[in-house]
Amino acid sequence: MLIGDLLPAALAAWKPRRATHQVAAQTSDAPIARSPSVRPKPIAVPHGVLALAPETRTVLSGALDFARSRYVELQMAVEPGVVAQVDAVAYRTCLHDLLSEAIVRAASGVLVTAVRQGDGVEVAVLDDGSDSTGPRRDGSTQVAAVPPGASLVTDYHPQRGTTVLLRLPRSNWLPRPSDVDAVDHGASADL
């Protein structure tokens, strides 16, 4: 099974537009316009548990200028309420490195997804690059640090681009359905 086959809904819908001067991070979980007084109430998240939507959004926002300079569109699709057992700094550093590599390889777009998969969480960074700047022949990437307990798999196809899959351990703690909105929009406080 190819890595890209693990994310059929996201991949089927993803078709980057041709690069233009107008580049924006698009998120499928963007908050509904609310007045400043109506915000999700903060919830207690255990130490070491990371809500992936706000962290991923932060990394993509930080990479926007670099993506714009290369005429690459960034998109994000994160399953609601996805949390992982991972250090926040290690996750952000790893995702930043993966995203930077993908932007360099991309012809016009990069998609970042995160979904629950079995006993873990899979974060995929997909680019549409079709040149020889893909990963090395051994399938490895140049990521400086993979978070402890995580693994990294790379799949390169000249006609489709590169998919880098970061597998993270799933947290035993899950948000209640009523708390998913607060978790996904960063309204959390560590226990």
Taken in order of first residue, the domains within the chain and their CATH numbers are: 44-178 (3.30.565.10)
Q: How confident is the model at residue 93 (pLDDT cuts 50, 70, 90)?
A: very high
Q: Residue 149, CB half-sphere, CA atoms under 13 Å: how many?
A: 15
**Is it the case that residue 126 has pLDDT exceeding 90?**
yes
Assessment of whether the complete model's pTM goes beyond 0.75: no
Q: Report the pLDDT value the prediction gives residue 44, as an integer from 0 to 100.
A: 60
Closest CA to 69 of 92, 103, 98, 110: 103
Closest CA to 16 of 103, 96, 80, 94: 103
Pairing assessment for the beta strands 43-45 and 73-78 based on DSSP bridges:
unpaired
Q: Report the pLDDT value the prediction gives residue 175, as an integer from 0 to 100.
A: 66
Q: Report the pLDDT value the prediction gives residue 138, as an integer from 0 to 100.
A: 46
**Is it the case that residue 2 has pLDDT exceeding 70?**
no
Looking at per-residue pLDDT, the higher value among 139 and 46 belongs to 46
**Is it the case that residue 183 has pLDDT exceeding 80?**
no
Compute the C-alpha angle 125/114/62, nearest 5°: 60
pLDDT in tens, 32-63: 444 445 555 666 666 678 888 889 999 999 99
Rounded to 5 degrees, what are φ and ψ at 12?
-65, -35
Q: Report the pLDDT value the prediction gives residue 188, as an integer from 0 to 100.
A: 45
